[in-house]
Structure 1
């Protein structure tokens, strides 16, 4: 299986359709939403569908309509381990749709998900239904709240919320980058649930 970094949309589609790729880097191609409509065909019907493990779509101007075009195909890549959509513009609707499809589709081995710098204001709660997730990057968004259900992800070792206006965390300490989440993972939630933890300190160990 091969690694591919196309320079044009046409080259990208050809690679997805005709090569059994394991790594596909289509970053900086300026796909926009219209390009995602074409990209969807390669993801859904190409030879890479059963082999693709890593997909990088950095900085492509992908918005909600683009995510609508490709999210179903992305969710049905059975060997996908890493999906990178950093620095697009998918927003809350696109993030919600993507994460719901990923949690419900055939993509049951996803370990790394990059959604940083995407105009997201609400934590995508459907990620809590992805038990294999190990690293979640939501940095440079506008998220204020993290749901307690995140503690259910037993395999999660990194949650990056750098540069988000999180409530309950002093200015300048936005980064939550965990190298190891302890026990029931309440250490992760301490900044957000201070009152609860004060009344039940035993849950923090």
Structure 2
């Protein structure tokens, strides 16, 4: 049995994570691998309820409460979806993981990034992706993409440009600190070029 493979996609909203997840799923399926495509929050029934709270709740949510809600979703998601799939030798392609919390709740909400990471590492029992793909895009370009595709913005998408600028810088700092785990790709490149670069890196993991 092939070993399980855990791939996460990170980046700001509008960076193309969903498109690249779909292309990865198609490629792995064509190679005969079983793929579990999932996301955080919302990869389980519990996660869907958490997603509605953290992204669409009317009114403020205290930053620490927000971070804990994401961690709670992550604990359940990893225990019930991700680890079982990896144990079966499947490929998990996941939209967002711990790095999202460090970037959005740590830098974006100006919480202590080390504490935010520590909560999620405890929640997931230290599960680390084999590869994290960071689709990097300036926040103003991402906003133009969202403006052309959205009729409703969630709580994070609706934040000011300064918030999204902090998130992007945090992502790039995370990637610089762990170059062996991260692949940073310019999300302004053509879709197929991005996929080719991702495939080339994934093939080195085999």
Same fold (TM over 0.5): no
TM-score of the pair, normalised by structure 2: 0.30
TM-score of the pair, normalised by structure 1: 0.30
Bigger relative contact order (CA 8 A; separation at least 6): 2
